Structure 1
Amino acid sequence: MESKNKCKVCVTGGAGYIGSALVHSLLQNGYTVHATLRNLGDESKVGLLRGFPYAEERLHLFEADIYKPQEFEEAIQGCVYVFHVATPIYHTSGYKYNDKIEATISAIKKIADVCIQSRTVRRLIYTASVVAASPLKDDGSGYKTTMDESCWTPFYISVPYSNDFVKEYTEAKTRAEQEILKIGEDKANELEVVTLSCGLVGGGGHLPYTTSSVMLLISQVINNETQYQMLRYLEELMGKIPIVHIKDVCRAHIFCIETPMVNGRFLCSSSYITSVEIAKYYLENYPQFHLNQEYLEGPKKDIKWGSRKLEDVGFSYKHDAKTILDDCIEYAKRSGNI
């Protein structure tokens, strides 16, 4: 591998929760980073990234929008590794795409194509989501006994607590991951593809506000019914809730470029817990918060976390469930949500 100081990497969606943390980690690790943002005129996001240590010497910002995927070309040129983190959360109308699903898939195809044509990019790492890896059985008869990389979310099963927003997001992330893995399996492309299916990401971050995934993890503490419903949707979809610390997410992404012969699909979560277990932890450790009784009652499911694929190639998690939840509370306090 080239020495880190010479190695250029690209991060799409560089101003988001995972994107900004990853840019920060890559700079700390000596990489030169090309980061994309939807709008270079957004001073709050640009200022945040430019304020990172080593940004002056090694960070280059580019404007690119998922809905105009050809814009990513300039940022990818000359890079050895590309992290595709950006994903549309809300659908933007007025483009040729009918919905978020079309936009997400179209962007991933275009970015993969640019990587292949570049002749410099060796590996494309896609920040996938565990919503694509539901252990629900295709026939709707319940869950498989374990959740691992062989699981793919069935689209035609009714999941409690779902709504149009989460259904569309789930399908977009699932179809996009399947698409990118297909591209990686085509040996003619000479592009190594890794998908990191991340659990619900918690812990601190660089953004000045509490991010949506952290809001889900503290929904019981702040008694936010909308966020709690989404947490429960995730639990019904996944059997339990896979969670992972933002720092481990960044370490896993960097691990996937620094480790030879890593390719294919990896689930990335350090803990697999129920919403009741989360509520009980808060109740025992933060008695100042008054939790609704409903949060402490829920179904018991026997499903197990069966994925060790990432650890089998040498990765180890540094943050357990307690640290994730504690850091979510701290982050929310800093951001003024608690």
Structure 2
Amino acid sequence: MNSEGGKVVCVTGASGYVASWIVKLLLLRGYTVRATVRNPSDTAKTEHLLALEGAKERLKVFKADLLEEFSFEQAIQGCDAVFHTASPVKFTVMDPQMNGGGQVVCVTGASGYIASWIVKLLLLRGYTVRATVQNPTDTAETEHLLALEGAKERLKLFKADLLEDCSFEQAIEGCDAVFHTASPVKFIVTDPQMNGGGKVACVTGASGYVASWIVKLLLLRGYTVRATVRNPTDTAKTEHLLALDGADERLKLFKADLLEEYSFEQAIEGCEAVFHTASPVKFIVTDPQTELIDPALKGTMNVLNTCKKTSSVKRVIVTSSMAAVIVRQPPLEPNDVVDESFFSDPSVCMETEYWYPLSKTLAENVAWQFSKDNGMDMVFINPGFVIGPLLQPTLNFSVEMIVDMINGKNPFNSIYYRFVDVRDVALAHVNALETPSANGRYIMDGPSMTIYEIKEIMRELFPDLCVADTKEEGEIKEIIYKVCVEKVKNLGVEFTPLKSSLRDTIISLKEKCLV
């Protein structure tokens, strides 16, 4: 053994043929060796090195990749010498220069037949690939992509849908090129113009937050939409609807008021489906009967009575709320799992003066009874607090909660909050129409997160946004429970992550100068 004890050297690509012998000889001569390989956990690449004499005391293996800048820094730090052996040895190659090194491209519909091969070839050529799929959590759709060579280091999956406006933005951002392969391939179809081609649907309270997104999705799917608003001449309430794709050809506005009997008749006439979303959303009222309960109850009955008299109506989809689910006695506890069988108790709502939950509970109860008495096909969607991009120009109640949090308020003096994305809620409504087996209630709510976690996400997403510390006022509530949303997933709804919803909400608020 030469007098090299104590010296430290690095060998790159140490698992290779020549490199392995260099490592062996260095260890025999007393050197400490820092060896780089692409995957230290791959025993097929490292076992022979670790078995060398002296390896246990003087060999350390590091992960490094030739195409990853700075990945050799940790291995080389403190070395007296470096043996750079790492380099591919091939005499038959697809691309001798690996043209894509460092470049970023997007492939839409990446799980498809041709698209998958495009992704494979791009990865082999050194590109970083941002791939869009309909559901990144569906292993049947993504497993073959994630198994591709180079996928672990240079492939990222994004959720995107051809029919959802702006859903490709995150994937395409920063790309040098885009391969647009996503498109349905069918030679036998039930409706070449999408599910709604030729069908007519009515949306009540169409200028509202959720309702506007339902109108948007219906138009994108080819439906003719008859939308009710209180004042069709109020551009602040209708301009965003009239600007939607397809509105010129297939959207008609009608004047209707929840408290005016028969006022929905003209709008519902000839419709196959009715989405009843119209109902006031207020948590602070001076006259709960006039401001909340009468519009919710009488409005629901007015719409349903009109549907009963209109023979063309085949299904009614009612927008209810988690408020009609969770106000109970005894109160919900951390181990309770809330599902569609949970109903709020009107007497508890009255005792606690929870007037909005009372209005939604009473309205849903009378609708259920009406459905049973008249054999009407009715589906209920029960979302929690809804956030996401705004189509309308003004703040609605649930998105205003996000503005409040940014400004340091705690809207319900609660530690825990749940939010669901408006695009998911709209999709659930439309899919409830298009799924023949849809029935009963579908609750929709996101995971429970603390107000402090939500604010940290905002700060991470928007470092320049001044997110104020929370000013606690009064008693802080710690209501927490579990929610089972498996039923609504059967309608084809995959929940948008809260981080994405918050990002898109705040971007929308900034665009509309609301924050």
- TM-score, normalization by structure 2: 0.56
Name the CA distance, whole Å, in 1 between partners of 2:334 and 2:364.
21
2:336 aligned to 129, 145, 151, which one? 145
Name the counterpart of 2:405: 220
SS of equivalent to 2:264: helix
Q: Which amino acid aligns with 1:11?
A: V
Q: Percent identity?
A: 28
SS of equivalent to 1:205: coil
Q: For 1:140-186, what per-residue CA distance to the aligned partner results, in whole angstroms no more than 9, with x for missing partners?
A: 58566122212222345589xx8x6xx22121011111221222233
Name the CA distance, whole Å, in 2 between partners of 1:245 and 1:141.
23
Are residues 90 and 60 of structure 1, via their aligned partners in 2, closer, same or farther at CA, if it must alter by over 3 Å? same
Q: For 1:92-116, what per-residue CA distance to the aligned partner results, in whole angstroms no more than 9, with x for missing partners?
A: xxxxx74521331111122112111
Are residues 31 and 290 of structure 1, via their aligned partners in 2, closer, same or farther at CA, if it must alter by over 3 Å? closer
Q: For the Cα contact (< 8 Å) 2:212–2:391, is it kept in 1?
A: yes
Q: Which amino acid aligns with 2:312?
A: T
Name the CA distance, whole Å, in 1 between partners of 2:369 and 2:503.
39
- Unaligned 5+ residue runs, structure 1? 92-96
Alignment partner of 1:49 is 2:241: yes
Q: For 1:11-61, what per-residue CA distance to the aligned partner results, in whole angstroms no more than 9, with x for missing partners?
A: 001111111221111111100000000012212323322222211211111
Are residues 299 and 276 of structure 1, via their aligned partners in 2, closer, same or farther at CA, if it must alter by over 3 Å? farther
Q: For 1:52-85, what per-residue CA distance to the aligned partner results, in whole angstroms no more than 9, with x for missing partners?
A: 2211211111000112142011111110000001
SS of equivalent to 2:271: coil
Q: Which amino acid aligns with 1:83?
A: F
Name the counterpart of 2:438: 262
SS of equivalent to 1:170: helix
Name the counterpart of 2:509: 332
Q: Which amino acid aligns with 1:252?
A: A
1:302 is displaced (CA, Å) by 5.6
Q: For the Cα contact (< 8 Å) 1:121–1:191, is it kept in 2?
A: no
State how 1:95-114 maps to structure 2 within 5 Å.
98-114=290-306
State how 1:128-139 maps to structure 2 within 5 Å.
128-134=320-326, 137-139=328-330
1:126 is displaced (CA, Å) by 0.6
Q: For the Cα contact (< 8 Å) 1:66–1:88, is it kept in 2?
A: no
Q: Which amino acid aligns with 1:104?
A: A
Q: Which amino acid aligns with 1:119?
A: S
1:270 is displaced (CA, Å) by 3.9
Which of the pair has more CA radius of gyration? 2
After superposition, the CA RMSD in angstroms is 2.8
Name the CA distance, whole Å, in 2 between partners of 1:302 and 1:106.
33
RCO (CA 8 Å, sep 6+): is it higher in 1 or 2? 1
Alignment partner of 1:35 is 2:227: yes
1:208 is displaced (CA, Å) by 1.8
Q: Which amino acid aligns with 1:319?
A: T
Name the counterpart of 1:94: none
SS of equivalent to 1:244: strand
Deviates more, 1:247-256 or 1:2-11: 2-11
Higher helix residue share: 1
- TM-score, normalization by structure 1: 0.83
Name the CA distance, whole Å, in 2 between partners of 1:30 and 1:269.
28
Alignment partner of 1:179 is 2:355: no
Q: Which amino acid aligns with 1:310?
A: V
Deviates more, 1:322-331 or 1:29-38: 322-331
State how 1:48-197 maps to structure 2 within 5 Å.
48-89=240-281, 98-134=290-326, 137-140=328-331, 145-157=336-348, 167-186=354-373, 189-197=374-382
1:291 aligned to 448, 465, 468, which one? 468
1:306 is displaced (CA, Å) by 2.2
Q: Which amino acid aligns with 2:358?
A: E
Q: Which amino acid aligns with 1:112?
A: L
Q: Which amino acid aligns with 2:221?
A: N
Q: Which amino acid aligns with 2:496?
A: H
Q: For the Cα contact (< 8 Å) 2:442–2:487, is it kept in 1?
A: yes
Q: Which amino acid aligns with 1:180?
A: A
Name the CA distance, whole Å, in 2 between partners of 1:302 and 1:35.
37
Q: For the Cα contact (< 8 Å) 2:240–2:393, is it kept in 1?
A: no
SS of equivalent to 2:274: strand
Are residues 178 and 69 of structure 1, via their aligned partners in 2, closer, same or farther at CA, if it must alter by over 3 Å? same
Name the counterpart of 2:421: 245
Q: Which amino acid aligns with 1:201?
A: V
Name the counterpart of 2:488: 310
SS of equivalent to 2:411: helix
Q: For 1:215-256, what per-residue CA distance to the aligned partner results, in whole angstroms no more than 9, with x for missing partners?
A: 112322122x3xx334x4xx58xxx43311111111111100
